[in-house]
Homo-oligomer: A and B are copies of this chain.
Amino acid sequence: MTTSSAPGKVYLFGEHAVVYGEPAVPCAIERRARVTVERREDERLRVRANDLTLDGFTVTWGGSGTDPRPDVDVPTPLVEAAMGYIDGAIEQALDAAGEDGIGFDITVESDIPLGAGLGSSAAVVVAGIDAAARELGVELDAGTIADRAYRVEYDVQDGQASRADTFCSAMGGAVRVQGDDCQRIEDVPTLPFVIGYDGNTGDTGKLVAGVRELKEAYGFAADTVESIGDIVRSGEIALDDGDVEEIGRLMNFNHGLLSALGVSARSLDTMVWAAREADALGAKLTGSGGGGCIVALDRTEQTHTALEYTPGCEDAFRAELDTEGVRRER
């Protein structure tokens, strides 16, 4: 039996603009998915996912004559997606180990809110590949896990996946993503993130399409996308300098430009203002927007409390930048 874990992530800077070749900086956060894998005698996969949905579900598939439908009341596409990620992770581990036809009992636990844009699926895949490969006696380096996890997300998400989530989850820390090029940013300062979650999930495809329409219709929208890239470049310098006040200012500006591009939401702006009025160094939406999460850079430890009492904030938690990526758990 092997357990591995991998972190979720926030976008410190650059979401949406990254679609157009600008750099972005996702950061791993101290919220993890844990995947426990144990070899079975047969070829079946049995998955227990306690926190992957609110209710949790158990499903067994593979082998002969089994139906891959869980016997619980969770939305079928969600279950299929979750099974897709886990199935894909196991396949990658088997492939890496040169094995085939081995079954596993798999338990998934996650304290990353699902569907919140915090990279929970990437974390499950990354941790799953690591745990299953180790269970097969193979130790993969983080870069290989990131690559293989990306392939899983790419398949499950019909070619719409970004390398950012899986790379960030596998490597940990702050990461620079530009196109297919992903690199870890070294020596970043402590970043005391506070995350606020409105309980909603934005429609990423629709939001990305909306930005594309604006960008194609208006020169100033294309310029705004470029300005986000400029913010990221300034942000890299601020990270290198350890200048957290500057990082906060840049987050605020980044949020405004994302709002201009139409990807904020009432709930996100409400949480952003709550964080700023609680003296956060900066706050912005993270991910595709339209709903989901904001990330604030805390100064006084008041941000968390302020968000907890903000109407429309379903969940607020502290989660520092996590410099560790995927790892084996004892």
| A residues adjacent to B (C-beta < 8 A) | 214, 218-221, 223-224, 226-228, 230-231, 234, 252-262, 264, 266, 269-270, 273, 276-277
8 closest cross-chain pairs (CB), A and B:
A256-B260, A266-B273, A220-B230, A256-B259, A220-B227, A269-B269, A257-B260, A253-B260
Q: Which residues of B contact A276 (CB under 8 A)?
A: 266
Q: What would 12 A/B residue contacts be, using CB atoms closer than 8 Å?
A: A220-B230, A220-B231, A223-B226, A223-B227, A227-B227, A252-B260, A253-B260, A255-B260, A256-B256, A256-B261, A259-B260, A269-B273
Q: Which residues of B contact A253 (CB under 8 A)?
A: 214, 218, 220-221, 260-262
* Residue in B262, B266, B270 whose CB lies within 8 Å of A252: B262
Return A256 CB to nearest CB of chain B, in Å.
Answer: 3
Q: Which residues of B contact A226 (CB under 8 A)?
A: 223
Q: Which residues of B contact A261 (CB under 8 A)?
A: 253, 256
Copies in the assembly, this chain = 2
Docked-complex contact B224 and A219, CB < 8 angstroms: no
Q: Which residues of B contact A257 (CB under 8 A)?
A: 224, 256-257, 260
Closest to A231 in B: B220
Question: When chains A and B are docked, how far (Å) is the Cα of A79 from the Cα of B116?
Answer: 53
Q: Which residues of B contact A234 (CB under 8 A)?
A: 218, 220
Closest to A269 in B: B269
Q: With contacts A220-B231, A227-B227, A256-B261 known, what are 10 further pairs, Cβ within 8 A?
A: A220-B234, A223-B226, A223-B227, A252-B260, A253-B262, A255-B259, A256-B260, A259-B259, A269-B270, A270-B270
Docked-complex contact A219 and B230, CB < 8 angstroms: yes
Question: When chains A and B are docked, how far (Å) is the Cα of A230 from the Cα of B276?
Answer: 29
Question: When chains A and B are docked, how far (Å) is the Cα of A218 from the Cα of B221?
Answer: 18
Q: Which residues of B contact A262 (CB under 8 A)?
A: 252-253, 256
Question: When chains A and B are docked, how far (Å) is the Cα of A227 from the Cα of B215?
Answer: 13
Question: When chains A and B are docked, how far (Å) is the Cα of A36 from the Cα of B264?
Answer: 48
Question: When chains A and B are docked, how far (Å) is the Cα of A221 from the Cα of B227?
Answer: 8
Question: When chains A and B are docked, how far (Å) is the Cα of A256 from the Cα of B219?
Answer: 16
Would A266 and B259 be within 8 Å (CB), given that A220-B253, A230-B220 are in contact? no
Question: When chains A and B are docked, how far (Å) is the Cα of A114 from the Cα of B268?
Answer: 31
Question: When chains A and B are docked, how far (Å) is the Cα of A221 from the Cα of B257?
Answer: 10
Q: Which residues of B contact A255 (CB under 8 A)?
A: 259-260
Question: When chains A and B are docked, how far (Å) is the Cα of A276 from the Cα of B266?
Answer: 9
Closest to A274 in B: B266
Q: Which residues of B contact A259 (CB under 8 A)?
A: 255-256, 259-260
Closest to A277 in B: B266
Return A110 CB to nearest CB of chain B, in Å.
Answer: 31
Closest to A214 in B: B253
Q: Which residues of B contact A260 (CB under 8 A)?
A: 252-257, 259-260
Question: When chains A and B are docked, how far (Å) is the Cα of A242 from the Cα of B44?
Answer: 65
Question: When chains A and B are docked, how far (Å) is the Cα of A226 from the Cα of B223?
Answer: 9
Closest to A273 in B: B266
